[in-house]
């Protein structure tokens, strides 16, 4: 699969009264055509900043200090605002978290869907209206002819998110960035929206960057997963690798702190809080919260260690001289599942 | 689980209608009855619009119930008619709100937000005591002492929610209505807060009404769970029973929609869709199918539900 997007060593800071906040501290990744990459992490870890930088929607006080964002070979960091307007909404579209506030309350749904079509695809009013209707049917809005003449307040949260998705898909974007698109929705509605997104991705072959903090949602939608912490990717791998064979202690903590329906007794909680990125720690940013930290963690930032061709993790525990340790029981159970599964896949001729 | 089954709260036939009597009448809570035992966590789950938050708000008398009775440790909450009694009642019952953005006064410093209850009830005899208590509470909820002199806008949603929790704990209440208290928090922080709530429950002898839509967390924290939909309590049972041996089709559809952090499970998960039944005139109400497990159903359903329940055990 070819890469539609390549982000190389991205560093972003924000000027604040207190000083420079180092929000993104060297992020590199690529996005393949037609895949869903989920970025997980806590608030403040830089997930949204990363994707907003792709859209060039960063606030005034943001500085891209270093790095490249290559979209179809074009570096978006160096692209002018005028050119960006031709990319944004057309080739790269975004779905925001809150369907209640991402629609214009004073415009009919039809007009809002038609807007990008008339802007980017030079459609006339009639054509745009027809396409808008098509899109609303595509996202499964019942009674679309009638509903497209209505205003956002006449729609429920799930319906609004369907409308937002219709707008995002209006111009058949190459990349769809979904920033917590289901966080504000009920579980049954969330399930519908996730099913819809997967179905549409299949139909139009869009690549999706899916930002969320819900690991259940990640397990559901992602082909690959990137775990972000304090402005860096700490682990990247296929969904099976990250869920069944996690290597980074932060990933362990995240997975173990979510109760499964079987969890009894005390829940594993990662101690402490994320570091202040005004003055990030010298070594591994996770070290102060890491019960497996070694001396080197407080001195040097770990590089990305290779686990497999698709799986990398930034933890000194993967260094050949690191002592062998036992991850939390919950994680060992997951790794056991992985080993069995992985062995099975190999005998089937290496399906993955 | 509560050792002694002493009731701390009794809700009887609670109705909370908005625009009652007009054509815009909304039956947010429609005749629900349940008890909460001392020291337990009672989870109330449902989707938006199910009436779970309204139920919580009626219980703490943020609304005046349309009908029904709420008995809290002998206090007839629905009958409280003066400010003094309401104040006394709320010293014992506090609330943690859903929206961490709307529930903190943006003009107040965190110190004063947390200490508001301490001030109202005169719980600190000196400025130092007040301040020490605020710092203690901040640390309890995972914030730094120097956060006390900041304003709400300087915090993330998760941090704000922790301020809200500290505020509720400030008056040392006996009962806390927690309305989606962790929905806005990060996963790692959710676990911290849930563990904290459970620790506090044990050490401070607290009882929780835990309102949420995150079913896995509700199961984890709750002793018993009530499932609400369109203002009605459809199922009420111990947490394990609701999750492992649900009887109402709505509960089953809700559980089937929850994504779990397990890719293999997600690939095979089949979602069932709940289709409400047409009324046939027969009375529907909460009926006890087996001891402790209640389902909103018709008299004619009871035999089938008993069989369904027995089948769970037979297949196990």
Q: In this complex, do A341 and B264 lie within 8 Å of one another by their Cβ atoms?
A: yes
Q: What is the CATH number of the domain that holds A137?
A: 3.40.50.300
Q: In this complex, do B261 and A243 lie within 8 Å of one another by their Cβ atoms?
A: yes
By the 8 A CB rule, do A233 and A28 touch? yes
* A265: pLDDT strictly greater than 90: no
**Smallest Cα–Cα separation from B75: which of B179, B224, B175, B203?**
B175
**Smallest Cα–Cα separation from A166: which of A101, A223, A115, A122?**
A115
Q: How many angstroms separate the CA atoms of A254 and A154, rounded?
A: 38
Q: How many angstroms separate the CA atoms of B221 and A75, rounded?
A: 48
A273 lies in the same domain as A180: no
pLDDT at B1: 47
* A336: pLDDT strictly greater than 60: yes
Pairing type for strands A36-40 and A224-229 reads: parallel
Total domains, chain A: 2
pLDDT at B203: 78
DSSP lists the bridge partners of residue A32 as: A3
Burial (CB < 10 A; 0-12, 13-18, 19+), residue A308, is exposed
For residue A135, tell me if it sits in a domain: yes
The mean pLDDT value of chain B amounts to: 91
Q: Mark which of A191, A222, A253 sits at the end of a domain.
A: A222
By the 8 A CB rule, do A31 and A209 touch? yes
Burial (CB < 10 A; 0-12, 13-18, 19+), residue B32, is buried
Q: In this complex, do B261 and A266 lie within 8 Å of one another by their Cβ atoms?
A: no
**Smallest Cα–Cα separation from B167: which of B222, B107, B119?**
B119
Of A186, A219, A254, the CB nearest to B266: A219
Mean pLDDT across A59-80: 94
Q: Which two tokens stand for residue B113?
A: 């937000």
CB pairs under 8 A between A and B: 110
Mean pLDDT across A298-317: 95
By the 8 A CB rule, do B191 and A269 touch? yes
Q: Mark which of A199, A222, A245 sits at the end of a domain.
A: A222
A143 lies in the same domain as A191: yes
For residue A30, tell me if it sits in a domain: yes
A41 lies in the same domain as A148: yes
Mutation to test the B interface, candidates A43, A290, A352, most B Cβ within 10 Å: A43
**Per-position b or e across B33-48, b if 16+ CB within 10 A of its CB:** bbbbbbbbbbbbbbbe
Instruction: Please give the DSSP secondary-structure letter assigned to residue A34.
Output: T
Mutation to test the A interface, candidates B102, B196, B221, B263, most A Cβ within 10 Å: B263
Q: CA of B258, closest CA in chain A: separation in Å?
A: 6
How many residues in total does chain B contain? 316
A35 lies in the same domain as A173: yes
Q: Mark which of A167, A194, A222 sits at the end of a domain.
A: A222
By the 8 A CB rule, do A49 and A72 touch? no
Smallest CA–CA distance from A192 into chain B, residue = B257
Q: How many angstroms separate the CA atoms of B238 and B293, rounded?
A: 7
Q: Which two tokens stand for residue A239?
A: 């969904």
A95 lies in the same domain as A217: yes
Split at pLDDT 50, 70, 90, the class of A205 is confident
Q: How many angstroms separate the CA atoms of A140 and A192, rounded?
A: 10
* A351: pLDDT strictly greater than 60: no
A198 lies in the same domain as A286: no
Q: Give the tens place of pLDDT for each residue, B205-261.
A: 899 999 988 788 888 899 999 999 999 999 999 999 999 999 999 999 999 998 988
Range of lowest pLDDT (A149-153, A325-329, B86-90, B173-177): A325-329
The strands making up A36-40's β-sheet, listed across from edge to edge, are A92-95, A175-179, A207-212, A36-40, A224-229, A232-238, A311-313, A305-308
DSSP lists the bridge partners of residue B285 as: B297
Q: In this complex, do A188 and B254 lie within 8 Å of one another by their Cβ atoms?
A: yes
How far does CA B96 lie from the centroid of its chain? 9
Residues of B in contact with A239 (CB under 8 A): 263
Range of the domain at A329: 226-347
Q: How many angstroms separate the CA atoms of B32 and B157, rounded?
A: 32
User: Torsion angle of alpha carbons A212, A216, A220, A225, nearest 10°?
Assistant: 50
DSSP lists the bridge partners of residue A64 as: A12
A145 lies in the same domain as A207: yes
Of B189, B220, B263, the CB nearest to A219: B263
A245 lies in the same domain as A305: yes
pLDDT at B234: 97
Contacts of B15 (CB under 8 A, 6+ apart): B27, B29, B30, B31, B65, B66, B67, B68
Q: In this complex, do A187 and B213 lie within 8 Å of one another by their Cβ atoms?
A: yes
* A295: pLDDT strictly greater than 70: yes
Q: Report residue A11: phi and psi, to 5°.
A: -130, 125
The strand ranges marked E within chain B are 7-18, 26-37, 41-45, 67-72, 75-76, 93-96, 175-179, 207-212, 224-229, 232-238, 284-290, 293-298
Residues of B in contact with A259 (CB under 8 A): 216-217, 219-220
Smallest CA–CA distance from A338 into chain B, residue = B264
Q: In this complex, do B261 and A269 lie within 8 Å of one another by their Cβ atoms?
A: no
Q: In this complex, do A187 and B260 lie within 8 Å of one another by their Cβ atoms?
A: no
**Domains, in order of start, for chain B:** 7-240 (3.40.50.300)
pLDDT at B215: 82
Q: Which two tokens stand for residue A62?
A: 């943001």
By the 8 A CB rule, do B47 and B68 touch? no
For residue A152, tell me if it sits in a domain: yes
A190 lies in the same domain as A60: yes
Q: Which two tokens stand for residue A310?
A: 């698709």
A213 lies in the same domain as A266: no
> First CA to last CA across chain B, in angstroms?
24
pTM attached to this predicted model: 0.86
By the 8 A CB rule, do A142 and A128 touch? no
Q: How many angstroms separate the CA atoms of A190 and B69, rounded?
A: 35
By the 8 A CB rule, do A54 and A76 touch? yes
Q: How many angstroms separate the CA atoms of A262 and A267, rounded?
A: 11
How far does CA A69 lie from the centroid of its chain? 16
Of B188, B194, B259, the CB nearest to A253: B188
Q: Which two tokens stand for residue B56?
A: 């919580």
pLDDT at A301: 94
By the 8 A CB rule, do B227 and B46 touch? yes
User: What residues in chain B have their Cβ under 8 A from chain A's Cβ atoms?
Assistant: 47-48, 142, 156-158, 186-192, 194-195, 198, 213, 215-217, 219-220, 243-244, 253-254, 257-266, 269, 271, 274
* A350: pLDDT strictly greater than 50: no
**Smallest Cα–Cα separation from A218: which of B263, B224, B315, B245?**
B263
Name residues of chain B where pLDDT drops below 50: 1-3
By the 8 A CB rule, do A225 and A218 touch? yes
A153 lies in the same domain as A296: no
By the 8 A CB rule, do A319 and A307 touch? no
For residue A352, tell me if it sits in a domain: no
Classify the phi-psi angles of B176: left when phi > 0, otherwise alpha if psi is within -120 to 50, otherwise beta. beta
Q: How many angstroms separate the CA atoms of A135 and A208, rounded?
A: 18
Q: How many angstroms separate the CA atoms of A77 and A80, rounded?
A: 8
**Smallest Cα–Cα separation from B274: which of A173, A187, A203?**
A187
pLDDT at B6: 92
Kind and range of the H or E run holding A185: none
Q: How many angstroms separate the CA atoms of B116 and B168, rounded?
A: 10
Residues of B in contact with A260 (CB under 8 A): 216, 260-262
Q: Which two tokens stand for residue B307?
A: 């069989």
pLDDT at B266: 92
Higher pLDDT, A274 or A287: A287
A237 lies in the same domain as A91: no
The mean pLDDT value of chain A amounts to: 89
**What are the angstrom distances between the C-alpha of B125 and each of A68, B114, B128, B170?**
59, 16, 8, 14
* A149: pLDDT strictly greater than 70: yes
Q: Following DSSP, what letter does each residue of A211-262 receive, concatenated?
A: EES-HHHHHHH-SEEEEEETTEEEEEEEHHHHHHS--SHHHHHHHHTS--TT
């Amino acid at each position: 699969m070819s890469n539609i997007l390549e982000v190389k060593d991205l560093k972003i800071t924000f000027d604040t009264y207190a000083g420079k906040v180092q929000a993104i501290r060297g992020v590199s990744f690529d996005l393949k055509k037609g895949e869903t990459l989920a970025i997980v992490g806590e608030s403040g870890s830089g997930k949204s900043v990363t994707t907003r930088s792709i859209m060039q929607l960063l606030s005034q006080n943001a500085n891209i200090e270093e790095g490249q964002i290559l979209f179809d070979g074009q570096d978006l960091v160096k692209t002018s605002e005028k050119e960006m307007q031709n990319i944004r909404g057309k080739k790269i579209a975004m779905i925001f978290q809150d369907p209640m506030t991402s629609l214009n309350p004073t415009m009919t749904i039809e007009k809002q869907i038609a807007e990008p079509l008339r802007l980017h695809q030079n459609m006339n009013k009639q054509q745009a209206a027809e396409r808008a209707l098509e899109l609303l049917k595509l996202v499964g809005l019942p009674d679309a002819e009638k509903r497209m003449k209505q205003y956002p307040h006449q729609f429920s949260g799930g319906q609004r998110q369907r409308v937002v998705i219709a707008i995002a898909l209006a111009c058949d974007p190459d990349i769809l960035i979904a920033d917590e698109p289901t966080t504000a929705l009920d579980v049954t509605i969330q399930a519908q929206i996730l099913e819809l997104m997967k179905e549409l991705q299949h139909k139009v072959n869009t690549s999706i960057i899916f930002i969320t903090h819900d690991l259940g949602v990640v397990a559901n939608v992602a082909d690959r997963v990137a775990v972000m912490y304090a402005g860096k990717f700490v682990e990247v791998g296929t969904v099976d690798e990250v869920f069944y064979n996690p290597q980074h202690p932060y990933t362990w903590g995240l997975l173990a702190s979510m109760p499964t329906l079987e969890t009894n007794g005390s829940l594993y909680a990662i101690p402490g809080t994320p570091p202040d990125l005004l003055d990030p720690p010298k070594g591994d940013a996770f070290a102060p919260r890491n019960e497996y930290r070694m001396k080197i963690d407080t001195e040097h930032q770990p590089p990305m260690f290779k686990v497999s061709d698709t799986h990398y993790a930034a933890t000194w525990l993967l260094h050949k001289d690191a002592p062998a340790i036992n991850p939390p029981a919950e994680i060992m159970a997951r790794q056991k599942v992985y080993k069995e599964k992985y062995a099975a896949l190999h005998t089937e001729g290496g399906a993955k | 689980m509560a050792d002694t089954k002493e009731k701390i709260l009794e809700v009887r036939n609670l109705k909370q209608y908005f625009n009652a009597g007009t054509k815009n009448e909304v039956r947010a809570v429609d005749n629900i009855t349940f008890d909460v035992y001392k020291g337990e966590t009672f989870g109330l789950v449902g989707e938006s619009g199910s009436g779970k938050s309204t139920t919580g708000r009626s219980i703490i008398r943020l609304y005046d119930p349309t009908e029904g009775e709420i008995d809290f440790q002998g206090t007839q909450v629905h009958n409280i008619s003066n400010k003094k009694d309401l104040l006394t009642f709320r010293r014992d019952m506090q609330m943690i709100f859903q929206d961490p953005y709307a529930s903190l006064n943006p003009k107040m410093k965190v110190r004063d937000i947390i200490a508001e209850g301490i001030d109202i009830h005169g719980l600190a005899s000196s400025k130092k005591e007040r301040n020490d208590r605020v710092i203690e509470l901040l640390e309890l909820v995972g914030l730094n002492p120097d956060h006390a002199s900041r304003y709400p806008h300087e915090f993330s949603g998760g941090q704000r929610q922790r301020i809200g929790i500290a505020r509720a704990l400030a008056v040392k209440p006996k009962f806390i209505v927690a309305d989606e208290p962790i929905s806005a928090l990060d996963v790692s922080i959710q676990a911290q807060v849930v563990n904290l709530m459970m620790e506090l429950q044990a050490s401070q002898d607290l009882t929780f009404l835990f309102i949420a839509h995150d079913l896995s967390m509700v199961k984890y924290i709750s002793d018993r769970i009530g499932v609400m939909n369109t203002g009605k309590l459809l199922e009420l049972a111990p947490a394990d029973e609701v999750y492992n041996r649900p009887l109402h089709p709505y509960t089953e559809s809700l559980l089937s929609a929850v994504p779990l952090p397990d890719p293999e499970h997600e690939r095979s998960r089949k979602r069932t869709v709940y289709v409400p039944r047409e009324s046939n005139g027969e009375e529907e109400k909460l009926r006890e199918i087996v001891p402790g497990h209640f389902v909103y159903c018709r008299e004619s359903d009871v035999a089938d539900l008993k069989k369904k329940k027995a089948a769970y055990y037979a297949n196990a």
